Amino acid sequence: MEPLNETGGLPQNQMNTSKKNRFAPMFVGSVTMALALLIGTVVTFSARAKSVDSSDAPQLTIPAARQHDNEFTKVARAVEPTVVNINTESTIKNPHRNLRRAPQQQAPDEDQNGGGDDGGMQDWLERFFGQMPGGGQAAPGGENMTSRSLGSGVIVSPNGYIITNFHVVDKADRIRVNLMGEPATVSYPARVIGTDKETDIAVIKIDVNHALPFSKLGNSDGAQVGDWVLAIGSPFGLKSTVTAGIISAKGRNIVPQRQFQNFIQTDAAINPGNSGGPLVNMEGEVVGINTAIYTESSGYQGVGFAMPSNTVASVFNQLVSPGHKVERGSIGVTFGAEANPAVTRMYGGGKGVVVQDVTAGGPASQAGLKAGDAIVSVGGKTIANGDELVAEVSSHRPGDKLKIGYLRNGKQEEATVTLADRQKIYGAQLGTSDEDQDDNAPKEGKLGISVKPVPAAAAKRLNLQPNQGVLVSDVKSGSFADQMQPPISRGDVILEINRQPINGPGDFSRIESGLKSGQDVVFLVRQAGSGNTTINSFLGATLP
């Protein structure tokens, strides 16, 4: 072994030799690389300089266009014209906060005990918000921002009724619809006919001066696992996108403790923006409305979910009725989300659904049902599990009378129950009560605008005098203000109407009430997101 020097290294003579030995391959490598580069340059130069004879090359020709139809192309050609692109704008608060849906405490659903929340599922299930990145614009004061989102829908009548998802139009201030085959710059204002949060279904309508192509709904009960299906929509805003797959499963309850959301599962490619678009069978019938995906990447991973058409049809028929809402019956009981075999054997002899609690004063309570009773039939139909109980009861309207068969202490009993409105019993817990909806409903007049005083902080930032102007809190979709070019937007501050100063909501209401059809209406506004808080704009149109 060679001795180490004082620094712990090799002797000096050996170190010099080592350096030389290391330099040799480096020098050789450098020379080799230089030669390779030089040769490459020479070869390239030589190839370019050489004359090439291509006289023996054939001329390529294109045959006459032919349609190679298969079942997919036939269905796509028939259904595509009925699928629309939906663009919405809404104003949201706290732009610096996470825009994902916040967890909501999930209270007991009809006939089911609670716990859990919608927010919990967000860790593994992306809802099709259709929210596109960078779609926000700050409103006056920086307190709000305008959020733009995309979704899909399917026309189901020649006069413009469209089915989409509730979450596509939820809280939208403005809804615009683009039809297939028309330029992207042509859009139609849509108004909401009705929504059903529990099935995530909404019905909107556009008015056009000609009959529209429309799709027919099929019977989702006849759909089978393994059937071919097409998903049609506007993923990421790409209109008229068609993907193919099969039905992977049926009856998927993907949201814990959530009723009425038993989905068709498919592996047809579905992505954000497909929300509200149709899932179509090989007969060209809509068997589902695409609603959600299971993903860890916010994009397609082969697992998508569609609301079955049979559920959609029932909801649609109620939403277009005079009441414009879905009414579901309730008997006012709760039961275990997951059936416990030991409990069922103890209280029901292995049959039925064991009642855990009875709503005080509710229909079941008034009919004499108690905790511990095992419901085994509804209206003469045998009930095997909680899903069947909920489906059967909710398919009837409030006020209907149903015979409920149950077991108590092993003895068969029967009671007649007058159903109550499920929303009134559980609405406050579910966040769908009529009271909540009424409180949040815009109270707009002939202009379609709802206003409120300008907050003090915003007034200071906008250099406004005390009580000067009004803040636009809502604009009704399809209204006069919405259809102006450019339109009045939520977050705008209206300073004058027809040269009359606005010093609060009272002035606004007084001036609005005096406007007449055919009259020019000119607003002096400080527009939301204008980038300059001191510049005003004139917006005007003729009142129809």
CA dist., res. 475 & res. 482, Å (int): 6
Q: Which two tokens stand for residue 320?
A: 């277009």
| Strand segments (E) across 118-256 | 125-127, 131-138, 144-155, 161-165, 174-178, 188-196, 201-206, 228-233, 241-253
Which stretches of the chain drop beneath a pLDDT of 70?
1-50, 91-147, 255-261, 298, 427-444, 528-534
Print burial letters for 528-542: b (CB count within 10 Å at least 16), e (below 16). Answer: beeeeeeeeeebebe
The CATH number assigned to the domain with range 442-542 reads 2.30.42.10
Q: Which fold has domain 220-311?
A: Thrombin, subunit H (2.40.10)
Look-up of token digits 């398919």: 395
The identity of residue 317, as a single letter, is N
Q: Are 80 and 232 in contact (CB under 8 A)?
A: yes
User: pLDDT at position 13, please?
Assistant: 45
| Structural domain spans, the chain | 220-311, 329-431, 442-542
- For residue 520, give the 3-state DSSP assignment: strand
Q: What is the pLDDT of residue 402?
A: 93
Report yes or no: 267 and 248 within 8 Å, Cβ to Cβ: yes
Supply the pLDDT for residue 211.
95
Predicted TM-score (pTM) of the model is 0.62
Residues annotated as catalytic are 167, 200, 275
| Cα–Cα distance, 378 to 417 (Å, whole number) | 10
The rounded distance, in Å, linking the Cα atoms of 473 and 486 is 17
> Can 220-311 and 329-431 be said to share one CATH topology?
no
Question: H helices of 447-540, where?
Answer: 456-461, 480-483, 505-513
The pLDDT value given to residue 288 = 96
Query: Residue 132 has what pLDDT?
Result: 41
- Per CATH, the number for 329-431 is 2.30.42.10
Q: 443: which 2 tokens?
A: 């109270």
Q: What is the pLDDT of residue 325?
A: 86
Task: Give the dihedral of Cα atoms 236, 241, 242, 248; nearest 10 deg.
Answer: 10
